[in-house]
Structure 1
Amino acid sequence: MIEAEHSLIIEAPIAGVWDYVQDIRKWAQLFPGYQDCTVDNDDDSRWTLKVGAGGLVRTVKVQVHVDRWSGPEQVDFSFKLANEPVEGGGVYTARALGPRQTEITLKVRVSGSGPMAPMWEAVSRPLLPQLAKLFAGQLKTEIEQIAGIAPATDTKPATALWRWLQRLWKTLFSAGASTDSSPSRPAEIAMSEQNKQVVLKFIHAMGSSDGAGAIPCLDPEASTLAKGFGKFAGVRSYATMVGTIDAFKVLLPTGLRPEIKTVTAEGDRVVVEFEGNAVTSEGKPYCNHYCMVFTMRGGRIFQVNEYFCNILADETLWPLVEKMQAQIPASPATP
């Protein structure tokens, strides 16, 4: 969820401001692309906006509910975009500064859900404060015009708000999106971001020898393939992956302490380059370099290809693994 707040002073008495604010149709008419506002009852209305960018123009249906009319000082409201994973709300407050001056404050919050949520919030985060500022500015201009104070409508806020909506819509629903069943590019970007966060959480758990913390990141059928020709090369199952991470507590008491260098995510594939900065149980430094290629399934890690320096792993870690095996039979550990 993201939030924004903006305050300004309107050169009009609070009663005059309230005369304007208590009509929900006038709120809707401030938005560029306004087409219609249907009032169902005192608290519910449906706004129709037409917004677009380039060759893509879409009609947006917004369901607006007034949670509380407490005029002339306050209005609490909530909204939801029909057929889109976005909802939010806010609070309008007003206080009289004098017989012909009113300070208003507009607080707005927006939250997304589903795979598109990261995209909605990433795009909206730097722009929502601008939206609150521009909407409040439009409100001020309209009320002061009615009061005979503003000489002419300033079109700059409306133009800027229109550009904001275009930018948001273009990012979320690119004009190049196809009509077949394949996911749109924005949805792919959102899913890639989610997959990246899961992988980074897994690496953090691995680096801190937290097998329990790694489990939510793994598909029940997950496996790893350590590439190369060293003693650690080969395939390991889900159970061995988790057991190996826990074994790090003995092999590397400091933890692997990974330092992330690069992260590349595209669709169901995430590639991470990182360097370890560990010290073994015998006090020897172990600073291997890694590249791991993760394949995701259903938002979890399904398969991992591991690349690292086999020579360093064999020389530094393998003797410790052999000692562990001599005491308690166990599967070979992942470096």
Structure 2
Amino acid sequence: MAETEYSTMARLSVDTIWDFVKEMDNWAPLLTGYQAHEKQSETDSLWTVKGDVGVLARVVKFKVHITEWNGPERVSFELEGVNELLKGQGVFIMQPYEEEPAGAASAQRKNVFTRVVESLLRFFLRLFRGRPERAAASAAGPGEGWAQLTFKLRIDPGGPMAPMINAMMKPAMEVVAEDLSNRIIAQLEAQQGSKA
């Protein structure tokens, strides 16, 4: 199983982030490797994503089923591979950020190899996709009118290659989670800026 979590803060209301995230058509195209998605019902859709994991490049189709809409705080979903053996789940969590969230300071220390792989992946991702443009204030600390967006993703590959795929997938997932979260916030900041 490969699991990742990424949080980012912005001078946006929780409701603003919720209004964007609750509708997958808004953020689906922001996902790294996005090819297409097709809504089949209010809670079900079919996604096509091109993934590069190490030396493997695959186009993966998977079903997404929304399991929870708890506005304006949470959207949870499950994934199931259509053309690949994989299952998973994810969640977007939105919360006011007026003070340091409990547990935010405890980060797991990564080994040198993992940090090098992640920075190379970030470099190439930004080289080919560009860096999300964020408002300068978004790097500041907590205060009134701030919100935190957290994206968690877990994927469990199946089959005989699962252990190898897991090892290669974790660093790539961390980069994708960071990129998606920052692209969502950048899009919202751009929309808010155009309303001002």
Q: Is the TM-score greater than 0.5?
A: yes
Q: How does 1:144-293 map to 2 (within 5 A)?
A: 144-148=189-193
Task: Measure the CA separation in 2 of the matches of 1:7 and 1:47.
Answer: 24
Contact between 2:61 and 2:84, CA under 8 Å: does it hold in 1?
Answer: no
Q: Which has the higher contact order (CA 8 A, sep 6+)?
A: 2
Pair 1:50–1:110, CA change in 2 (3 A): closer
TM-score normalised by the chain length of structure 2: 0.67
Instruction: Deviation per CA, 1:50-104: give whole Å up to 9, x if none.
Output: 4579xx9754312111110101101111112211012211221111236632111
Pair 1:5–1:26, CA change in 2 (3 A): same
SS of alignment partner, residue 88 of structure 1: strand
Is there any run of 5+ residues in structure 1 with no aligned partner, and where? 150-335
Q: How does 1:32-111 map to 2 (within 5 A)?
A: 32-50=32-50, 59-97=59-97, 100-111=145-156
Pair 1:40–1:83, CA change in 2 (3 A): same
Is there any run of 5+ residues in structure 2 with no aligned partner, and where? 99-143
Pair 1:57–1:107, CA change in 2 (3 A): closer
Partner of 1:245: none
**Structure 2 residue identity aligned to 1:135:** L
Identity %: 33
Give 1:148 deviation, angstroms: 1.2
Task: Measure the CA separation in 1 of the matches of 2:184 and 2:65.
Answer: 19
How many residues are treated as equivalent by the alignment? 147
Give 1:128 deviation, angstroms: 2.3
Contact between 2:78 and 2:88, CA under 8 Å: does it hold in 1?
Answer: yes
Pair 1:112–1:58, CA change in 2 (3 A): closer
> Is 1:116 paired with 2:161?
yes
Give 1:23 deviation, angstroms: 0.8
**Structure 1 residue identity aligned to 2:12:** A
**Structure 2 residue identity aligned to 1:8:** T
> Larger radius of gyration, structure 1 or 2?
1
TM-score normalised by the chain length of structure 1: 0.40
